[in-house]
């Protein structure tokens, strides 16, 4: 917005408040800053009686002071429609939202791609929107997956009315089995979302999980919340935005979306319903920010289909397509193209097989009879009759395509003339591994097509023009950009301001932030525990920052183990010191360094013996300190030093 441009006054529909017969004690509403004074005389009398009772029950001076402050504020506000009540910030963590306040707390998905989890609170009830995981980056050595911290949910599990899921991608459903092992809550989702979750429940041996299959544009009651699922376009069928209705106002979570007028399944996004919500009034919108940096609009899946057909038409040998297993629309389009060119389809990868099985069983995918063959049958067909759909589009080391490119796959080898299509864009951080796989494929004689060469992939997220349309249709009073790194959230916030939204009504949040709002104002009121929980093998949360630091230290500098055998009674060395090196230097080529290191340890042990030092902890620290300084002086490296003293 330019400086000379006049500021337009925003039109805002206020949902009328419902009259309540209950009486609330004003001093108990610690998170509520503004309280409507225009109440019935009976309610005012009830409040005064409650306050008087409190005063008689407690003789503490603090209570009297609070009474006096409240009376003063009532007098001062005689000309104003509202009363302001002070709240202690440290109370926010343990109290409910104010009686007429809604609270939003993201526990994941802010300033990151993945592990989306948002908590909506109203009065004494909670609603969870999505519960996903993320995958480890290069610095998370040995970690399999990353979960959001659910401590806040576990502490407040008696308030949770349910989990509503926008769609079936891992970053939105992957952490649900781990949540259900702690809390038994109902799960609400569409048919494919629940179908994919059912497979996860089997893998985690979870029984008696209550799931509710929802239909679009119908309202479901979850305690004091009403929720409505609205159709959106994304890279997976049955994706939804979720409208959450409360007495205070409506919250809209767009989920992951793009506006595709020619989707593969013909199910166009329900823009009409979003326009209706905008007319009815939306108090808060939480919207996908993944592609907020990209101008224009996201290309349609039909454009990708045409590029695929051109690639298939020119292929003279086998075709291998790598894509996300959860991109069901893309899988359907690839199968359709294979059928058009009379190619048999081989599915490779456990996650890919699971998605095909679930989607076909639910009728979400239409797979022609006889087109799928087992990987063991490929030798029965000519190479120009075969299409392989595989995992590994992100260069994952253990994925099928990576093993094929390295020549390590037991059943499939890359051959001269094979056409490999990467029908996916790199997730931030995976560019190097994908580049390595592409280079290995070229070296083995394959032709490779990827996103920068041809339009063989399109995003499932809205670009700037689509985001503008969503904002103009919904017209929210308050706005939280979600689902993105900080740069994505910032660009989405800037876009909203360019459309005329006031900056003070836009909130870029961090995981754990608590945002509280009513129809008049919105503010940050505190934080709760949030962060990554690492899953390594069967261990959940047992690998923390200290273990990760040690792993990084070992990976970067290696390990040196010093073994000394001592007679503890006489404090004399019986054998050693022996030195073992792993990942630091090759011992056979560094014998002089090892001999000098032994001498340094021997000298330090003698010094400590002369001083009468017998505590093993002091002996170990002495060995570690002397050897650390020596090795750094000689090599400018700091390996992890592990002294072991054996009592003989």
Q: What is the pLDDT of residue 270?
A: 95
The one catalytic residue in 130, 238, 288, 518 is 288
Domain 102-296+460-534: CATH superfamily, name plus number: Ribonuclease Z/Hydroxyacylglutathione hydrolase-like (3.60.15.10)
The Cα 580–Cα 222 span in angstroms is 61
Name the nearest CA neighbour of 512 among 227, 87, 111.
111
Mean pLDDT across 107-119: 92
pLDDT of 635 above 90: no
Percent of all residues in the chain with a pLDDT value above 70, rounded to a whole number? 83
Please name every residue paired with 298 in a beta bridge, in sequence order, or none if there are none: none
Q: What is the pLDDT of residue 281?
A: 94
Options 3.10.20.580, 3.40.1170.10, 3.40.47.10, 3.30.565.10; CATH of 545-647: 3.10.20.580
Which is it for strands 145-148 and 160-164: parallel, antiparallel or unpaired?
A: unpaired
The one catalytic residue in 172, 234, 461, 471 is 461
Verify whether residue 28 is a known catalytic residue. Answer: no
pLDDT, tens digit, for every residue of 339-373?
A: 999 999 999 888 888 888 898 888 888 888 889 99
- What's the gap between Cα 569 and its chain centre? 56
Q: How many CB atoms lie within 10 A of CB 624?
A: 18
Alpha-carbon torsion 314, 319, 320, 324, what sign?
A: positive
Verify whether residue 288 is a known catalytic residue. Answer: yes
Higher pLDDT, 355 or 71: 355
| Whether residue 57 has a cis bond before it, omega within 30° of 0 | no
Return the domain boundaries, the chain.
Answer: 26-88, 102-296+460-534, 301-449, 545-647
Q: How many CB atoms lie within 10 A of CB 466?
A: 22
456 pLDDT band, cuts 50/70/90, is confident
pLDDT, tens digit, for every residue of 372-384?
A: 999 888 889 998 8
Q: What is the mean pLDDT of the chain?
A: 81
Question: Do 365 and 390 meet the contact criterion of CB atoms below 8 Å apart?
Answer: no
pLDDT, tens digit, for every residue of 219-251?
A: 999 999 999 999 999 989 999 999 999 999 999
Which of helix, strand or coil describes residue 209?
coil
Per-position b or e across 149-168, b if 16+ CB within 10 A of its CB = bbbbbeebeebbbbbbbbbb
What is the DSSP code (8-state) at residue 134? B
The Cα 226–Cα 401 span in angstroms is 45
Q: What is the pLDDT of residue 64?
A: 47
Range list of β-strands (E), 175-277: 187-189, 211-213, 219-222, 225-231, 240-245, 250-253
Options 3.40.50.10710, 1.10.530.10, 3.40.50.300, 1.10.1840.10; CATH of 301-449: 3.40.50.10710
Mean pLDDT across 456-481: 94
Q: Locate tokens 């090759």: which residue?
A: 586
497 pLDDT band, cuts 50/70/90, is very high
Stated pTM of the model: 0.76
Name the nearest CA neighbour of 70 among 103, 37, 100.
37
511 pLDDT band, cuts 50/70/90, is very high
Please name every residue paired with 532 in a beta bridge, in sequence order, or none if there are none: 148
Start-to-end CA span in the chain (Å): 79
Burial of 264 from C-beta contacts in 10 A (0-12 / 13-18 / 19+): buried
Q: What is the pLDDT of residue 2?
A: 41
């Amino acid at each position: 917005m330019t400086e000379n441009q006049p500021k337009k006054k925003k039109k805002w529909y206020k949902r009328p408040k419902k009259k309540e017969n209950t009486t609330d004690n004003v001093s108990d509403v610690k998170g509520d800053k503004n309280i409507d004074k225009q109440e019935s005389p009976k309610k005012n009398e009830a409040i005064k009686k409650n306050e008087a009772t409190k005063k008689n029950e407690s003789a503490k001076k603090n209570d009297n002071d609070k009474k006096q402050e409240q009376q003063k504020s009532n007098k001062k506000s005689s000309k104003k429609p509202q009363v302001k009540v002070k709240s202690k910030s440290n109370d926010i963590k343990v109290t409910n939202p104010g009686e007429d306040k809604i609270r939003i707390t993201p526990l994941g998905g802010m300033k990151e791609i993945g592990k989306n989890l948002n908590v909506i609170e109203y009065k004494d009830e909670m609603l969870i929107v999505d519960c996903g995981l993320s995958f480890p980056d290069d610095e998370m050595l040995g970690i399999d997956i990353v979960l959001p911290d659910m401590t806040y949910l576990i502490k407040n599990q008696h308030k949770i009315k349910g989990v509503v899921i926008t769609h079936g991608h891992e970053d939105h459903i992957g952490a649900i089995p781990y949540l259900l092992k702690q809390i038994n809550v109902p799960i609400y989702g569409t048919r494919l979302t629940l179908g994919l979750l059912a497979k996860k429940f089997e893998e985690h041996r979870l029984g008696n999980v209550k799931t509710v299959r929802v239909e679009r544009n119908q309202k479901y009651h979850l305690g004091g919340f009403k929720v409505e699922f609205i159709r959106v376009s994304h890279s997976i069928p049955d994706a939804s935005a979720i409208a959450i209705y409360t007495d205070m106002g409506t919250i809209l979570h767009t989920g992951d979306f793009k506006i595709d007028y020619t989707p593969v399944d013909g199910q166009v996004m329900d823009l009409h319903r979003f326009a209706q919500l905008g007319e009815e009034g939306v108090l808060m919108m939480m919207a996908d920010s993944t592609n907020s940096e990209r101008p224009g609009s996201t290309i349609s899946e039909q454009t990708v289909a045409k590029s695929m057909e051109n690639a298939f038409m020119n292929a003279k040998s086998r075709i291998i397509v790598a894509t996300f297993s959860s991109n069901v629309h893309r899988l359907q389009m690839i199968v359709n193209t294979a059928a058009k060119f009379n190619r048999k389809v081989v599915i490779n990868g456990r996650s890919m097989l699971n998605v095909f099985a679930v989607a076909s069983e639910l009728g979400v995918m239409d797979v022609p009879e006889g087109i799928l063959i087992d990987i063991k049958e490929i030798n029965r067909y000519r190479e120009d009759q075969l299409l392989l759909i595989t995992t590994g589009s992100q260069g994952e080391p253990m994925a099928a395509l990576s093993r094929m490119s390295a020549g390590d796959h037991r059943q499939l080898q890359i051959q001269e003339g094979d056409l490999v299509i990467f029908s996916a864009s790199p997730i931030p951080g995976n560019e190097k591994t994908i580049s390595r796989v592409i280079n290995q494929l070229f070296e083995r004689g394959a032709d490779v097509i990827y996103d920068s060469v041809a339009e063989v992939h399109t995003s499932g997220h809205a670009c700037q023009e689509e985001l503008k349309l969503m904002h103009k249709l919904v017209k929210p009073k308050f706005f939280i950009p979600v689902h993105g790194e900080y740069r994505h959230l910032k660009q989405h916030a800037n876009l909203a301001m360019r459309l005329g939204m006031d900056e003070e009504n836009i909130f870029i949040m961090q995981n754990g932030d608590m945002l509280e709002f009513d129809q008049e104002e919105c503010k940050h009121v505190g934080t709760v525990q949030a962060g990554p929980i690492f899953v390594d093998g069967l261990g959940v949360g047992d690998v923390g920052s200290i273990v990760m630091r040690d792993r990084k230290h070992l990976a970067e500098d290696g390990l040196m183990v010093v073994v000394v055998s001592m007679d503890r009674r006489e404090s004399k060395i019986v054998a050693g010191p022996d030195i073992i090196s792993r990942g630091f230097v090759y011992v056979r080529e560094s014998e002089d360094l090892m001999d000098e290191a032994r001498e340094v340890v021997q000298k330090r042990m003698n010094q400590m013996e002369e001083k009468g030092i017998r505590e093993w902890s002091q002996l170990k620290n002495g060995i570690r300190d002397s050897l650390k300084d020596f090795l750094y002086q000689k090599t400018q490296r700091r390996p992890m030093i592990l002294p072991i003293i054996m009592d003989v």
